[in-house]
A and B are shown apart, each in its own frame.
Chain A
Amino acid sequence: KQEVTQIPAALSVPEGENLVLNCSFTDSAIYNLQWFRQDPGKGLTSLLLIQSSQREQTSGRLNASLDKSSGRSTLYIAASQPGDSATYLCAVLRTSYDKVIFGPGTSLSVIP
């Protein structure tokens, strides 16, 4: 059974810092991994999608890496800003017809 965990559960950093969010999954046979952000009371916004054949994806100040063999993904945020404050969730898809499984999220607070 696929389980997804995220560490840390919460993180508070001063503005300008580079930071890393971690996502771990128990079954390395995944199809893809997707990172989302969620603002309070809102839906999830897709940040990056990494296919199983890829090792990383970049979008602006965000970089996500995937290491299937170790069951890990990291989301790197460069030069953090107060607007980055949100909950970040990772999600994995085991097969193309399976349900998406979410981690519990990391609550990020960037202090001005």
Chain B
Amino acid sequence: KAGVTQTPRYLIKTRGQQVTLSCSPISGHRSVSWYQQTPGQGLQFLFEYFSETQRNKGNFPGRFSGRQFSNSRSEMNVSTLELGDSALYLCATRMGGATEAFFGQGTRLTVV
């Protein structure tokens, strides 16, 4: 059974650019959550999508957005990149409800 797949694994962008990250969930998983992880802040929740609808949202500026497709794959977009956006971005998927969450390997974004 395939795990959660995040692409790309590594990314280097310049300040002011925008970036799109992708997360393909385990088959049958309808919930996709996104997290930002930095050394100083730990895991910060960005948003969660369930059946193509944003169900929960964290405290991030509007530059961070996401969407989910009918096949449950999700993308997150960050516009007008800042140096502080450099982080490991992780997605977690679950079937829905109070079920076990599984994480992808993350996308390491470096903004220069």
Q: Taking beta carbons and an 8 Å cutoff, which residues of A are in contact with B?
A: 31-32, 34, 36, 41-46, 49, 51-52, 89, 91, 93, 95-102, 104-105
Contact = CB atoms under 8 A, between A and B. Distances in A.
Given A51-B98, A96-B97, A99-B56, A43 B42 contact: no
Interface residues on B, range: 20 to 34
Nearest to B57: A99
Interface stretch (B68-76, B77-85, B102-110): B102-110
17 contacts: A41-B106, A43-B6, A43-B90, A43-B103, A43-B104, A43-B106, A44-B92, A46-B101, A46-B102, A46-B103, A52-B98, A89-B43, A97-B55, A97-B97, A99-B45, A100-B101, A102-B45
B47 to A, nearest CB: 9
By secondary structure, the B interface counts as strand
B68 to A, nearest CB: 15
A31, A44, A96, A105, most chain B CB atoms within 10 A: A44
A36 B90 CA distance: 14
Nearest to A93: B98
B106 A42 contact: yes
Contacts of B101: 34, 46, 91, 100
Nearest to A99: B56
Contact of B100 (A46, A96, A98, A102): A46
B105 A42 contact: yes
Nearest to B98: A31
B33 interface: yes
B57 to A, nearest CB: 9
A43 B88 CA distance: 9
B98 A96 contact: yes
A102 to B, nearest CB: 5
When A and B form their complex, which 7 residue pairs have the shortest distance between CB atoms, in order from nearest?
A: A31-B98, A96-B97, A43-B103, A99-B56, A44-B103, A43-B105, A96-B98
Contacts of A89: 43
A100 B33 contact: yes
A8 B100 CA distance: 25
